[in-house]
Amino acid sequence: MSEMGRRLGQSKLTVGPIAYGLWRFTGDDVSAASTRIEAAIDSGITLVDVAAVYGLDWGGSSFGESEALLGKVFAATPGVRQNMVLATKFGIIPGVPYDSSANAVVQSCEDSLKRLHTDVIDLFQVHRPDVLTHPAELAAALTSLRSQGKIREAGVSNYGAQQTALLQKFLPFPLTTTQPEFSALAIAPVFDGTLDHAIAHDLTPLAWSPLGGGRLAKGSTNDERVSRVVTKLDELADRDGVSRAAVALAFIICHPATPIPIIGTRNPARIAAAAHALRVNLSRADWYGIVAASQGAPMP
Ligand SMILES: NC(=O)c1ccc[n+]([C@@H]2O[C@H](COP(=O)([O-])OP(=O)(O)OC[C@H]3O[C@@H](n4cnc5c(N)ncnc54)[C@H](OP(=O)(O)O)[C@@H]3O)[C@@H](O)[C@H]2O)c1
């Protein structure tokens, strides 16, 4: 990747323009897991995004499984942990389903540190809003963890701009990231204030499911909307001699909030190929054309 070392929010953490996500990182094959993490680091990816709850989908069977697998990679491959910005999330508990109360946040942090075999989490994110926790309580828990050196920075995920501002109001340090679903199939953050708020407050957006969870990459579908977007992406990909996935990632990267797509492939060659997105130049007409395909109507 070319543009290395951009700042994450207002923090001292530096990251590459693409991140790697571990939602689909399950099982106990530490060697295959290490290969994926090393493929990411070798291609200039520095931010790795996991969550306490990851492991209950994609062939996994237990809460914490993805963090535990990453912890085994750290234990087996010295140096890997030091070469990455480690981001995890707390606050989703199946059956509850959201808990960001102070006790739950502190307990989740302790549990994640143990599973990850590390003594600090670089970026600790609220996975989804728990509207039953007063933001002052959540802010106090995050501030305490940060002052103890257990987390370096904090971020939010699936928060609206107002919810982010409300949490920020009670924090003595700036939030670093906001993580919405954002892709050519999920364009709401462009229009609902999420990316505007990120620009205004110097938060780095992390875009989850940047290929629509694979729907944009796989292409074949009975969904009319997906077909329309895929047709538009293919037109641009053919013109520029790049893959459809590269155009889909470029669509995210070139927004002025400079979001970082969190790719989720388990295929090392596809992890490496994500960097091709950095060579794609989309014009205004290209970009708005993708938005129009996504919303099924021309721009007003
Ligand atoms: N905050 C949240 O609430 C939230 C929610 C969801 C996800 N996330 C984050 O976002 C990350 C990425 O999400 P995601 O995994 O849905 O991302 P994604 O990159 O949109 O989708 C990944 C899926 O696409 C498939 N794929 C990728 N390239 C392909 C290609 N060229 N051909 C065919 N299939 C292809 C992958 O299969 P292969 O493995 O076979 O390549 C994988 O199943 C997660 O790991 C997590 O960190 C966050």
Give 237-268 pLDDT, tens digit per residue: 999 999 999 999 999 999 999 999 999 999 99
Q: Which residues of 227-246 are buried (b: 16+ CB within 10 A; e: fewer)?
A: ebbbebbebbbeebebbbbb
* Percent of the chain clearing pLDDT 70 (strictly above): 99
The pLDDT confidence band at residue 57, using thresholds 50, 70 and 90, is confident
| Sign of the dihedral through C-alpha 149, 62, 181, 43 | positive
Which amino acid, 183?
Answer: S
Least confident of 4-8, 189-193, 294-298: 4-8
Predicted local distance difference test score (pLDDT) of residue 58: 76
Predicted local distance difference test score (pLDDT) of residue 5: 78
Residue 2 has pLDDT above 60, yes or no: no
Q: Are 162 and 201 in contact (CB under 8 A)?
A: no
Name the residue among 132, 64, 137 with its Cα closest to residue 106.
137
The CA distance from 125 to 15, in Å, is: 16
What is the position in ligand 1's atom list of the atom closest to the CA of 214? 24
SS3 84: coil
Q: Ligand 1, residues 18, 20, 24: which to mutate, most atoms within 8 A of Cβ?
A: 24
Which amino acid, 266?
Answer: R
Q: What CATH architecture is 6-214+256-264? A: Alpha-Beta Barrel (3.20)
Q: Ligand 1, residues 185, 208, 247: which to mutate, most atoms within 8 A of Cβ?
A: 208
* Ligand 1 centroid – CA 215 distance (Å): 9
Question: What are the C-alpha distances in Å from 121 to residues 243, 250, 254?
Answer: 34, 29, 28
* Ligand 1 centroid – CA 115 distance (Å): 23
What is the position in ligand 1's atom list of the atom closest to the CA of 50? 47
The verdict on the CB of residue 157 being under 6 Å from ligand 1 is yes
Residue 1 has pLDDT above 80, yes or no: no
Residue 133 has pLDDT above 50, yes or no: yes
Predicted local distance difference test score (pLDDT) of residue 229: 97
* Ligand 1 centroid – CA 147 distance (Å): 34
Average pLDDT value for residue range 255-284: 97
For this structure, is 54 an active site residue? yes
